[in-house]
Amino acid sequence: MSPIYVDHFATTPLDQRVFDAMRPYFQQDFGNPANDGHHFGQIAREAVEEARDTVRHAVGSPSNSPVIFTSGATESNNLVFRGLAERQKHRRRHVVVSSIEHKSVLAPVRWLTQNGYAATLVPVAQTGVINSDEIISALTDDTLLVSVMAANNEVGTIQPLEAIGQATRSRGILLHSDATQGVGKVPIDMARLGIDLLSFSAHKIYGPKGSGALCVAAASTAAELAPQMLGGGQENEMRSGTLNVPGIVGLARAIELMQELTPIEQVRIRALRDALLSGLQKSIEGVQINGNLDCAVPGALNVSIDGVRSTALLARIRDIGVSGAAACGGKSATSHVLAAMGLNRSRIGSALRFGIGRFNTPEDVDSVIDQIVTAVGWIRNQPQFGVEIQA
């Protein structure tokens, strides 16, 4: 039996069409875009600038607004928090973030608090949706930045950015969004939503690993960021280092395909997710949904299976690419997202995160259901592999 991958929130396979777009820039058009005084560098420079325009258009960022190409959303998020802190030492010193942010947001926030900043972590409802009123209530005259993700990386819930953006804009507070799980899946329009800074990675949308971007709504905002990588002054001195031209081209092609395919693709993906959930619930007693599928991106499904530790289950289904928590947490980590949602230890310890993707089929779903049903049946006959029921 061939392995089946249903963990598309961890990463996605590179789409062949993306690879085809990237291929010339590895060998044929290999020039350095910083050396555009000759043909080779000029071709590379044109490819990078075309990609920049593609990204701006895709996220609703104004024409000629800064797009800083990075190695991914983690670097972009660090550039936002650490970059602002270094340039804002004598100004506002308070940030507001949701408690379910990715660790590449939460870790820089901890760094800020160790360097004289105050931070408010706003709790989240058990549905996994942030209450915009609670974010707004946390704002003070000293608030520099609010950071709320577009869609959560564990339960897939889409967050109310527009209401938050209206409040931050009216008070001169910057709004950042880690849109890694949202770009291409939900409408992202920085101008309409009031987003000042937006991060994302290519490898979550069938693009290459090691490529991402920080989109900035205005040049004046970009000027408030202190660069975190120093050297040759690339990216308008915001991110030094020779540009990853194949990766940048791949990022742009990936986002183009998401825009082109999403209207049809997401309907099919949602149907596969619903079939997976239905099959699990019909065949296994005690399957509980974590989050709210009515306001989640179509491919997301996070469930807990009563009395079955996810670690034990994953050990029985090694040919299925699925996870118990976010990939960034490591093998032994438990989910800070589910904990923030108020779930008990038993339910967190039995959680499975599925991410249905572009290349999954109905046959994949049927096989996943069959293998999980078999594994759960075996585990439930082996009490030592269960989870303690705790309040």
pLDDT digits (tens, 9 = 90+) for 287-339: 999 999 999 999 999 999 999 999 999 999 999 999 986 555 555 467 999 99
pLDDT above 80 (res 341): yes
Buried b (16+ CB within 10 A) or exposed e, 297-323: bbbbbbbbbbbbbbebbbebbeebbbb
pLDDT on residue 238: 86
Give me the mean pLDDT over the 114-135 stretch: 95
Give me the mean pLDDT over the 162-170 stretch: 96
Lowest mean pLDDT among 80-84, 138-142, 176-180, 387-391: 387-391
pLDDT on residue 236: 83
Q: In this structure, are residues 388 and 333 in contact, taking their beta carbons and an 8 Å threshold?
A: no
Give the C-alpha separation, 359 to 261, whole Å.
12
pLDDT on residue 195: 98
Cα separation values, 207 from 24, 179, 184, 349, Å: 16, 15, 12, 31
What is the overall mean pLDDT for the chain?
Answer: 93
pLDDT on residue 386: 56
* Domain spans, the chain: 4-11+263-385, 16-256
Give me the mean pLDDT over the 268-294 stretch: 97
Give me the mean pLDDT over the 50-56 stretch: 97
Known active-site residue 328? yes
pLDDT on residue 112: 95
Give the C-alpha separation, 387 to 203, whole Å.
34
pLDDT on residue 235: 85
pLDDT on residue 268: 97
Lowest mean pLDDT among 1-10, 145-154, 257-266, 375-384: 375-384
pLDDT level of residue 89 (50, 70, 90 thresholds):
low
Rounded to the nearest 10 degrees, how much is the dihedral formed by the CA atoms of 205, 337, 125, 291? 60
Give me the mean pLDDT over the 89-93 stretch: 78
pTM listed for this prediction: 0.94
Give the C-alpha separation, 315 to 372, whole Å.
11
Q: Which candidate, 170, 145, 143, places its Cα nearest to that of 225? A: 145
Give me the mean pLDDT over the 33-52 stretch: 93
Enumerate residues 6+ apart whose C-beta is below 8 A from 363. none
pLDDT on residue 387: 55
Which candidate in 230, 267, 315, 328 is catalytic?
A: 328
Strand ranges in the chain using DSSP code E only, listed in sequence order:
4-5, 67-70, 94-98, 118-122, 143-147, 174-178, 197-201, 212-216, 287-289, 300-305, 320-321, 351-355
Mode of pairing for the β-strands spanning 4-5 and 320-321: parallel
pLDDT level of residue 390 (50, 70, 90 thresholds):
very low
Second CATH level (architecture) for the domain 4-11+263-385 = Alpha-Beta Complex (3.90)
pLDDT on residue 391: 37
Just give the CATH number of 16-256.
Answer: 3.40.640.10
Collapsing DSSP to helix, strand or coil, 359 comes out as coil
At 330, list the tokens.
């490591």
Give the C-alpha separation, 199 to 76, whole Å.
6
pLDDT top residue among 240 and 80: 80
Q: pLDDT by residue (tens digit) across 5-40?
A: 999 999 999 999 999 999 999 999 999 898 888 988
DSSP string, 28-65: TT---TT-TTSHHHHHHHHHHHHHHHHHHHHHTPPTT-
Give me the mean pLDDT over the 344-363 stretch: 96
